[in-house]
Structure 1
């Protein structure tokens, strides 16, 4: 029985140092790195989407304000304001 423990330990050491094991370890490390990169990219995409949404909100507000000002200016131009005769004769 004591020999079995030593044999199993030796077996595990050799398996961990095998080419297939090293390949698996490299693959696990690469997958971990890619998952981390994906998380970071998703966070960055969300931050950029928030910026785009904020900019779109500002553009929509400015467009609405611009349309209101144009309409106000159009109605103002149609109003005739009489000149004060006393003021016009002094010039």
Structure 2
């Protein structure tokens, strides 16, 4: 038999046990430590996490107002999602930096390759001129230490 006290509603519009379950579920979801859901900050997850019916959750107007205020202030991102998003942002910045560095090094490499090709061409031309000149080039004597 149910006593009148166990059926009485709190100012939240639901029983004290239900209000406690909803607030505990809300806190677990906000903390990113769900026990019965995937942790997304949705009202569906709130009633599932509290293990009450959707209709029961909908009667808890004060608790839903708290939920809506928290979501409006903090958004629907869980702590884990926020950490993930921060890590993605950090990695994207690092990737952009490395891409700029690679582009700069690639341009330097192209410039060096062009200079080397020019020097190689000039060297080849000079060797051909020496070979066709007919004049004798006398090599310098190697330096000896005495």
State the TM-score, normalized to the length of structure 1.
Answer: 0.68
Distance (Å, rounded) in 1 between the aligned partners of 2:132 and 2:78: 80
Given the alignment, which residue of 55, 62, 66 partners 1:10? 66
Distance (Å, rounded) in 2 between the aligned partners of 1:46 and 1:27: 28
Runs of 4 or more above 3 Å deviation: 6-9
User: Within 5 Å, which residues of 2 pair with 1:6-85?
Assistant: 7-12=63-68, 13=70, 21-76=78-133, 78=134
- The structure whose residues are more often helix, as a share, is 1
**Higher normalized contact order (CA 8 Å, seq sep 6+, divided by chain length):** 2
Partner of 1:32, secondary structure, is helix
RMSD between superposed Cα atoms in Å: 2.5
Shift of 1:10: 1.7
Partner of 2:118, secondary structure, is helix
Shift of 1:11: 1.4
Shift of 1:21: 0.8
Distance (Å, rounded) in 1 between the aligned partners of 2:64 and 2:89: 29
Unaligned runs of 5+ in 1: 81-91
Unaligned runs of 5+ in 2: 1-59, 137-146
